[in-house]
């Protein structure tokens, strides 16, 4: 008689072994219909899974993150089934879930076409409507290899052949289709209600360019049509907001093949970049940070000592000099900051020591991963390292967390999620040191009053971290800032301070970034604001223009006044109609357009218009400047339109 403990703590007894689906049915018919999978003692299982002894059980529906994962995994199988029915000679390989969807790789004699994609999607909908039952069975490895070879699925047989001989193989079937999979899957294909195939791409078998090229079909799947439509709308919005397109339209930056993964900043783009740096510099100075700068090229021995060479070496750019020394271009700033800390004897009275740097770093990224400003090989970090005693970890981590969240608000990001990333598989340091670091970061998180989700195995190789995830205007999440507790690197690099008993102690180092990569944060800002940067960030804050050439002297006089007040001004004296000029500068997303006609000149006024098209009336240049200064100082929380 198994006793089932439910998430609310209540218990139910059963006279016999019971499936997850049956547990759901005894709770309620609505839950039974909604059940997609279950958790038994923390393990995700099918609804057909039978519970034979006492266990904690929860029912997974499409409201749970795991439920969405099951839907997408099952839809990948639905895709493969449809492809095999329409193109029997195609061979299947792998079909995992990815962010917002799934893909499946196929080997086929010709390239799939957009028309093929449409036909596959129609067949998928027919299979879903048929509501075919999904069943699981287990086979011995060698039997499974024979099964798939007999089916002509050589890629799948190769995958199974690589699995250890004694390990049982689970297969999932629906209708005439069977596939290798760990599962779990939805109970029947009728649970798959909202999906769409998105695009075709090429992919090498097992990700190795020496292997044959396969065809990858990408798709997305959601619990219902409403959520699918919302996702497709976000994609449309994202395309309109693409920072690469905005960068070209506003003449901010460009990239080219001769410098892959690096940015050519144009004057207006560099203006915004420098505004970001100055903003962060002011914030960090006020928070007690000292700005430093370390070399970009350092000897291999330092990177070996820090642990970067063994764990990160494949992503580092290196060079060998005529005297046979190997140097690496820095991928991170932390070892350099430790060297600065080590100069001179530090007393515990001097801690915490807070160093900050806008350091240019280089990391090799595969060509296929590069994406505008979002994924580059050369970028600038707003990197900071705080050297503390163990007793100071909590207070400094709390202060850093509050600083990070306050800064994000200035850029219009109010919705910020936090993830706790614990020890990765590839790491330096003993487990007891990691236990201590993870405990310290959890304690600091509690003291800061923040809630976080667990991001298992995603910590840095030297310490656990908090990741700060921004949600933008169209609902996308971007991981930007980090806060890491490092009990490894300072000791590896020989850093120490003198404690209150005159003994040498190794400091703890907190790694902290807020923008993360300035280039990437810049791209996120462009997309979040759709290029309409707030006035305090905009490369051109004001354009001054006249209606006819009679106003040119007054336009020039007004522009000079604004420039002397620190306003970023552009003058438009073109022989064009004023309506044309207004449209032109509105497309350039300039926050404010100032227009002078004969009446304005006579009254020493200027007519003010916002880029949204609102007429803000006539005012003196002095009044406009005061109001603009107030907007800039509030970082856009109040504008001239308010």
Catalytic center residues: 334, 363, 381, 383, 385, 465, 511
CB atoms within 10 A of CB 275: 16
Gyration radius (Cα) of the chain, Å: 30
Tally of CA atoms within 13 A in the half-sphere of 350 that contains its CB:
14
Measured torsion, CA atoms of residues 625, 630, 631, 637, in degrees rounded to the nearest 10: -170
The distance from CA 302 to its chain's CA centroid, rounded to whole angstroms, is 30
Contacts of 274-280 spanning 24+ positions with Cβ under 8 A? 275/536, 275/537, 276/515, 276/518, 276/521, 276/522, 276/537, 277/358, 277/382, 277/518, 279/410, 280/358, 280/382, 280/407, 280/514, 280/515
Identify whether the C-beta of residue 522 lies closer than 8 Å to the C-beta of residue 272. Answer: yes
Q: Provide φ and ψ at 253, rounded to 5°.
A: -165, 170
Give Cβ neighbours of residue 589 (< 8 Å, ≥ 6 apart). 250, 531, 532, 533, 538, 611
Pairwise CA distance, residues 303 & 266, whole Å: 34
The distance from CA 600 to its chain's CA centroid, rounded to whole angstroms, is 49
The distance from CA 163 to its chain's CA centroid, rounded to whole angstroms, is 33
Apex 41 CA angle, 39 and 45, nearest 5: 35
Identify whether the C-beta of residue 16 lies closer than 8 Å to the C-beta of residue 30. Answer: no
Identify whether the C-beta of residue 22 lies closer than 8 Å to the C-beta of residue 169. Answer: no
Pairwise CA distance, residues 183 & 532, whole Å: 45
Taking Cα atoms as reference points, which of 178, 171, 170 lies closest to residue 80? 178
Pairwise CA distance, residues 445 & 368, whole Å: 37
Number of helices and strands in the chain (H, E): 20, 35
Identify whether the C-beta of residue 61 lies closer than 8 Å to the C-beta of residue 187. Answer: no
CB atoms within 10 A of CB 187: 21
Pairwise CA distance, residues 228 & 162, whole Å: 37
Burial of 118 (0-12, 13-18, 19+ CB in 10 A): exposed
| Exposed e or buried b per residue across 463-490, where buried means at least 16 C-beta atoms within 10 angstroms of its C-beta | bbbbbbbbebebebebbbbbbbbbbbbb
Taking Cα atoms as reference points, which of 350, 440, 430, 422 lies closest to residue 386? 350
Burial of 30 (0-12, 13-18, 19+ CB in 10 A): exposed
* DSSP symbol at 541: -
């Amino acid at each position: 008689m198994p006793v089932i403990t439910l998430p609310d703590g209540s218990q139910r007894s059963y006279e016999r072994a019971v499936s997850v689906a049956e547990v759901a049915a005894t709770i309620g018919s609505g839950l039974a219909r909604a059940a997609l999978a279950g958790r038994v003692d923390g393990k995700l299982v099918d609804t057909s899974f039978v519970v034979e002894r006492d266990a904690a059980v929860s029912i997974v529906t499409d409201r749970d993150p795991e439920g969405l994962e099951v839907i997408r995994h099952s839809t990948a199988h639905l895709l493969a089934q449809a492809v095999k029915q329409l193109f029997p000679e195609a061979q299947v390989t792998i079909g995992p879930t990815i962010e917002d969807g799934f893909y499946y790789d196929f080997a086929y004699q010709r390239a799939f076409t957009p028309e093929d994609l449409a036909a596959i999607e129609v067949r998928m909908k027919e299979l879903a409507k048929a509501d075919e039952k999904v069943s699981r069975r287990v086979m011995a490895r060698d039997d499974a290899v024979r099964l798939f070879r007999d089916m002509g699925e050589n890629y799948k047989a190769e995958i199974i052949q690589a699995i250890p001989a004694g390990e049982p193989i689970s297969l999932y079937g629906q209708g005439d289709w069977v596939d290798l999979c760990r599962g779990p899957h939805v109970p029947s294909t009728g649970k798959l209600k909202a999906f769409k195939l998105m695009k075709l791409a090429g992919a090498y078998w097992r990700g190795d360019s020496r292997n044959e090229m396969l065809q990858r079909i990408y798709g997305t799947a959601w619990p219902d049509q409403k959520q699918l439509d919302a996702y497709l709308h976000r994609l449309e919005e994202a395309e309109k907001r693409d920072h690469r397109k905005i960068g070209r339209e506003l003449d901010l930056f460009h990239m080219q093949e001769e410098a892959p993964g690096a940015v050519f900043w144009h004057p207006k783009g560099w203006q915004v970049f420098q505004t970001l740096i100055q903003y962060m510099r002011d914030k960090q100075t006020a928070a007690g940070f000292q700005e430093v700068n370390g070399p970009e090229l350092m000897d291999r021995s330092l990177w070996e000592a820090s642990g970067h060479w063994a764990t990160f070496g494949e992503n580092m750019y290196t060079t060998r000099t005529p005297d046979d020394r190997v140097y690496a271009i820095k991928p991170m700033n932390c070892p350099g900051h430790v060297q600065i800390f080590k100069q001179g004897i530090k007393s515990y009275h001097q801690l915490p020591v807070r160093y900050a740097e806008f350091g240019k770093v280089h990391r090799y990224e595969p060509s296929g991963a590069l994406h505008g400003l979002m994924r580059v090989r050369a970028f600038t970090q707003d990197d900071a390292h705080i050297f503390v005693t163990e007793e100071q970890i909590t207070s400094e981590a709390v202060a850093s967390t509050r600083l990070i969240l306050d800064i994000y608000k200035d850029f219009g990001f109010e919705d910020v999620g936090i993830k706790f990333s614990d020890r990765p598989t590839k790491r330096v340091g003993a487990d007891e040191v990691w236990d201590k670091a993870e405990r310290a970061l959890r304690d600091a998180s509690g003291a800061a009053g923040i809630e976080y989700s667990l991001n298992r195995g995603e910590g840095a190789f030297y310490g656990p971290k908090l990741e700060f995830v921004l949600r933008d205007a169209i609902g996308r999440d971007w991981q930007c800032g980090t806060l890491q507790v490092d009990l490894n690197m300072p000791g590896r690099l020989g850093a120490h301070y003198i404690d209150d008993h005159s003994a040498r102690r190794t400091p703890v180092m907190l790694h902290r970034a807020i923008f993360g990569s300035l280039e990437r944060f810049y791209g996120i800002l462009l997309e979040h604001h759709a290029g309409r940067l707030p006035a305090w960030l905009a490369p051109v804050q004001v354009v001054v223009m006249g209606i006819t050439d009679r106003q040119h002297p007054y336009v020039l006089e007004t522009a000079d006044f604004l420039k002397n007040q620190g306003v970023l001004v552009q003058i438009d004296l073109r022989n064009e109609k004023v309506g044309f000029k207004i449209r032109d500068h509105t497309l350039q997303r300039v926050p404010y357009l100032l227009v002078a006609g004969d009446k304005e000149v006579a009254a020493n006024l200027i007519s003010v218009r916002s880029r949204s098209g609102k007429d803000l009336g006539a005012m003196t240049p002095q009044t406009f400047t005061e109001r603009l200064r107030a907007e800039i100082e509030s970082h856009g929380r109040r504008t001239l339109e308010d």
